Structure 1
Amino acid sequence: MQISITLKGFAAMQVTQPQHPNPSCAQVLMHLLRQYQVDTVFGIPGVHTIELYRGLPGSGLIHITPRHEQGAAFMADGYARASGKPGVCFLITGPGVTNAATAMAQAFSDSIPMLVISAVNRREDLGTGRGRLHELPHQQDVTRGFCVWQHSLTCAEQLPEVLARAFQVMHAPRPGPVHIEIPIDLFPAPMQKPLADYRAVKPATLPAAPADTIATAARWLAEAKSPVILLGGGAQAAGKEVTALAEQLAAPVFLSLAAKGIVDERHPLCGGANLSFTNVRERVEIADVVLAVATELAETDRNLVRENYHFNGKLIRVDLDPAQLVCNANPDLAICADAKATLGQLVDALPAANSERQRHTAAEVEDLLRGCRSEWWPGSEGRFPWVRALREALPENGILVSDSTQLAYNTNHALGLYQPRSHITCTTGYGTLGFALPAAIGAALASKRPVVGLIGDGGIMFTLGELAAAVEQRLPLPILVWNNSGYGEIRDFMDQAAVAREGVNLRAPDFVALARAFGADGCRIDKPEQLGPAVAEAFARQGPTLIEITAPA
């Protein structure tokens, strides 16, 4: 007797699971993610994650489907930077993990909390080399170099503890991607307790500085004649405190690129993200006390100026990560504590500066900024009208998400931002291309603030397919494409080094036509005065708009 099974019947056999009184591992995972205040996850379902997705309906989680796993992780990155909460990805075994690797490494470089939940082959198949679908021997070895913590589940009951550890690790002292892989046979595994019995664990309280350490730092700062504050991206929550401290000390504040907007760049004591320019470096080096808060003091903080400062005065460093307190420069006083709490303690310990001293420092900062402008203008004159036009087009509470492209290198310095979490960029650190489009989607989903993406004609080709996800979500998202007909920055470097231009002059597609093919709107502009109306119209739409900018020759 011959037995035949239809494909439809076979599929049903594959996904039908016996009913259990208690929830499955996948259901508890979704429930606990909501307990940890996760509301959005990014992922592409695959044959190995079918049972994972069984837990999604009714969980309260919003699922966003990108068109590539690299886009999923970039979206999670942008979501995390805009919201301050971890971004979450669901990945399939093997190629899902390797596709997301570049974006995970970008998040690791910039200390962005990201939870990556991936499938892995059944427990009985691990390490056997049987040629199973999506099999990747030693999958966690792939992500080990750019994760702050990893775990491979070996039984379903480990899940609550593993998630608790993951969220603690992403909370402090130095966040980054966490990778949890779950064998596909564990997704449907029944748990031992009802769903309501599973609860999140509250994050640990971040440490404050000891009173005697604060007293020493306060004394040094009070006695300083020319103090300086250097602020890094780890101080996102401390904008109010650092502004108050700068006013009390009458001290200029200079920002790393990751810190843009933490202090309103219109503030008269804010010198912006100009640490790469000669006169600002000189000002840091003559300071009798430098307070460096949540910054690596790395070349990426100085926009790729390799040589570090010569700290001729006392250096006070504040960071939650003890390793960072001695990275790139040894401090005279190291404070291993939360930036917001420490700055608040210093505000309470210091008297207010007199108004005359504040006016003097404000005049000094304005003079420094004039010097910066004279240094950054040569060779960039054609781009600065576009920077001014973008500043006028971007609402005061707007978020700029930028990629590695020529115009973004100018906005890093010349475009002021006014609120924390306003500057999401990959232009330094790991510096991967293709970041801005998916990261802007993640930021727009995370925040009610207006978001503008800025990317080059070369970079957008890495992740162009994510326009489809923005269309599906009906995001009023302007994406500015700086079209300089190739990899313009590398072309300039080749010219400076007297290297023949190879591989940098690219044929670009019709971006406006492509945008419309995706269901987005599109337009092409070539004058700075056209940018404001184009961005305003894009914000008024229910869907993304690709605005192609013909770069000046």
Structure 2
Amino acid sequence: MASVGEALIAGLKARGVEVVFGIPGVHTVELYRGLAGSGIRHITARHEQGAGFMADGYGRVSGKPGVALVITGPGVTNVLTPMGQARADSSPMLVISGVNDRASLGKGLGKLHELPDQLGLAAKVALTATRVERPEDLAPALDAAFAALASGRPGPHHIEIPLDVMPLPAPAPGEPPLTPTPSLPPGLDAAARLLAGASRPVILAGGGARRAEAALREVAEALDAPVIQTANARGLLHGHPLTVAASPSLAPVRALVAEADAVLAVGTEFGQTDYDMMVDGLWPAPARLVRIDISAAQLRRHEAEIPLQGHAETLLPALAARLPSRPPAEGAARAAMARKGARAGLDAGLAACADVLDAIRDAVPGALVVGDSTQAVYAGNLSYDHDRPGGWFNAATGYGALGFAIPASIGAALAAPGTPVISLNGDGGAQFSLAELMTAAEEKLPITFLIWNNHAYQEIAWAMREAETEVIGCHPAPPDLEAVAKSCAMPYRRTGPAPADVAAALRALPPTTGPVLIEIADAAPPLDRPA
């Protein structure tokens, strides 16, 4: 009979898991027993935080749970930050860890990797946290986690297995239960009537809409409604006349919402980093709001005239089928005005960064661009039209963790073989996870790591100056990035920050089967924000 550890791997395989991210340790040896010969690919991260961000990137691109396998204690605490980012951005993730033997838990015996309450700690961040107390508990724990990942709002889930349970004989894992087909919620007909009767409708598309582009386009065109996209929705309706690929934190975009007589919000939680980035409290309450969201709890947080619970992939086609088409009128003009105003409202520095993003998109069409918290990413989140649904995501929204882009791009590359992946980092954020470059090199993943080196935590330096605080700690010396690339056996290029120079560097890359590093060398910036 297989052990619990072997049954775990078989259970993951039966549920469609193809890749796991982790670092083996003495407390997970029994969990690794079943990996050899399972067909599941193990990616060895250099830090558990990296493993978690890899799982996040994999989940965002594939739509399937990214799985991280970590040790007891420090492995769990190290992966909590990626779990926080995944929860904030609704990214499907399953973290599986060990925990000390059952008889010792909570007793403070000084065991290796001991925490006072590991399960309770994980439960504060994870959507669910479960301990496998007996071998027969394993299959139900997996079933519950995967059912929640398939039917509820995506996010991180945690399962821990005690050391003394891992080697015990376990029942053979059965077939995973089928996910029931959800029924359509009441209110669709009323929603269609409300929206069809509006003369100036607007659509707010969040990350929950990114796998429903065709139906979103159909609804937008039927309503002649501009489609405002949050950061996690970028790439939807690229280049379409109704697209407003700009942040609802910007005044011209807010004006579009304020003038609307009906608003359809799809898969968006109305979070601060999308709707109130400047923390000015001026977001206008949408008139006659119809909301589509997978989460009942989320629907309760922001009152809507018609709340509709369900996946956008299911409800948008059903809504489209109920809408009469109308001839195009002012929707495209309203969208164009908001787009133009949003881009014109960027300060000179952010506008220059946005121009670089346009150049990157045009040089490498159809790429997945995975970003960290850095100036170019801030600019893109404010105003940038990507050309691939789900192809623009970063950690500058929601939880806002630094060190995301390098490992998350690794997960993204594994989820979409053959798709170009660009990892967009600042020199400060890159140093949080620079070691994961070796994971990309070891796995020969075709990722272009762009590191914008301005020798500073520039945004923080500006904030300290504006607060009339002495600027301290904002200029950590970056490493020699050419030497870093050489140490990872990857090609290196250096370019300036002009859009044409960055595009030329991307186009000039030689054919390669592995990662490359391009340093965008920017002069050390002044402390004053550019006008």
TM-score (norm 1): 0.91
1:381 positional shift: 4.5
Q: CA deviation at 1:312?
A: 5.7
Larger CA deviation: 524-533 vs 376-385: 376-385
**Unmatched tracts of structure 2, length 5 or more:** 526-531
Name stretches of at least 5 consecutive residues in structure 1 with no aligned partner: 1-21
2: CA distance, partners of 1:85 / 1:34: 13
Q: Does the 8 Å CA contact 1:400/1:422 hold for their aligned counterparts? A: yes
Match of 2:192 among 206, 218, 232: 218
Deviations 1:469-517 (A, max 9, x none): 0001101110111111110111122222222211112211101111211
Deviations 1:74-123 (A, max 9, x none): 00000000110000011011111111111111111111111111011122
User: Given the alignment of the two structures, is residue 291 of structure 1 paired with residue 261 of structure 2, yes or no?
Assistant: no
Counterpart CA distance in 2 for 1:417 and 1:382 is 16
Alignment correspondent of 1:68: 47
Q: 1:499, 1:374 → 2: CA distance?
A: 30
What one-letter code is carried by the residue in structure 1 that aligns with 2:482?
V
Distance 1:148 1:539, change over 3 A: farther
Pairwise CA distance, 1:305: 3.8
Tell me which of 407, 410, 429 is aligned to 1:459: 429
1:95-494 maps to which residues of 2 (within 5 A)? Answer: 95-193=74-172, 198-210=174-186, 213-261=187-235, 263-302=236-275, 304-306=277-279, 307=281, 309-311=283-285, 313-327=287-301, 329-355=302-328, 357=329, 360-395=330-365, 397-448=366-417, 449-494=419-464
Between stretches 373-382 and 98-107, larger displacement belongs to 373-382
1:510 aligns with 2:486: no
Is residue 511 of structure 2 the alignment partner of residue 540 of structure 1?
yes
Offset at residue 446 of structure 1 (A): 0.7
Deviation track 1:323-382 (CA, whole Å, cap 9, x = no partner) reads 21132x321111122222221111111111114x1xx32122112211111101444354
Structure 1 contact 248–352 (Cα < 8 Å) conserved: yes
- In structure 2, relative to structure 1, the CA distance for the partners of 1:52 and 1:537 (3 Å cut) is farther
Residues 522-544 of structure 1 deviation map (CA, whole Å, 9 limit, x = unaligned): 22111432322432455831221
Residue in 1 that maps onto 2:466: 496
Change (3 A) 1:280 1:539: farther
CA–CA distance in 2 between the matches of 1:192 and 1:83?
30
SS in 2 for 1:480: strand
Residue of structure 2 equivalent to 1:12: none
TM superposition shift of 1:401? 0.2
- 1:202-242 Cα shifts (integer Å, max 9, x gaps): 223344222xx111111111111100000111122211111
Partners of 1:175 and 1:385 in 2: CA distance: 33
Question: TM-score, structure 2 length as denominator?
Answer: 0.95
Contact 1:477 1:538 in 2 (8 A): no
Instruction: Please report how far the alpha carbon of residue 252 of structure 1 lies from its aligned counterpart in structure 2 after TM superposition.
Output: 0.3
Instruction: Write the distance in 1 (CA, Å) between the matches of 2:89 and 2:65.
Output: 13
Equivalent pair of 1:42/1:88 in contact (CA under 8 Å): yes
- Whole-angstrom CA distance in 1 between matches of 2:209 and 2:285: 21
Q: Look up the equivalent residue of 1:520 and give its one-letter code.
A: M
CA change 1:80–1:192 in 2 (3 A) is: closer
Cα distance in 2, alignment partners of residues 149 and 546 from structure 1: 38
Structure 2 CA distance for aligned equivalents of residues 514 and 145 of structure 1 = 37
1:49 to 3, 19, 28: 28
Alignment root-mean-square deviation, CA: 1.7
Higher alpha-carbon deviation: 518-527 or 290-299: 518-527
Q: Percent identity, aligned pairs only?
A: 42
More deviation, 173-182/417-426: 417-426
1:13 corresponds in structure 2 to none
Aligned-partner Cα distance in 2 for 1:387–1:23: 51
Cα shift readout 1:278-315 (whole Å, capped 9, x = no counterpart): 12101101111111111111212226143253336211
Count residues in correspondence. 521
- 1:478 maps to a residue whose letter is T
In 2, Cα distance between equivalents of 1:446 and 1:110? 18
How far the C-alpha of 1:37 sits from its partner, in A, is 0.7
State the alpha-carbon separation in 1 of the partners of residues 141 and 216 from structure 2: 36
Counterpart of 1:82 in 2: which secondary structure? helix
Deviation digits for residues 418-471 of structure 1 (CA, Å, limit 9, x no counterpart)? 232211211111001000000001100111221100011000111000011000
Structure 1 residues 42 and 476: alpha-carbon distance in aligned structure 2, compared to 1, 3 A threshold: same
Once the two structures are superposed, residues 169-212 of structure 1 have per-residue CA deviations (whole angstroms, 9 ceiling, x without a partner) of 1123212111110011222211234xxx62222223344222xx
Given candidates 50, 55, 63, the residue that maps to 1:84 is: 63
Partner secondary structure for residue 454 of structure 1: strand
Contact persistence 1:168–1:204 (CA under 8 A):
no
One-letter amino acid of the structure 1 residue matched with residue 134 of structure 2: C
- When Rg is computed on C-alpha atoms for both structures, the one with the higher figure is 1
Q: Is the 8 A contact 2:246 2:384 kept in 1?
A: no
Distance in 2 (CA, whole Å) between partners of 1:200 and 1:239 is 30
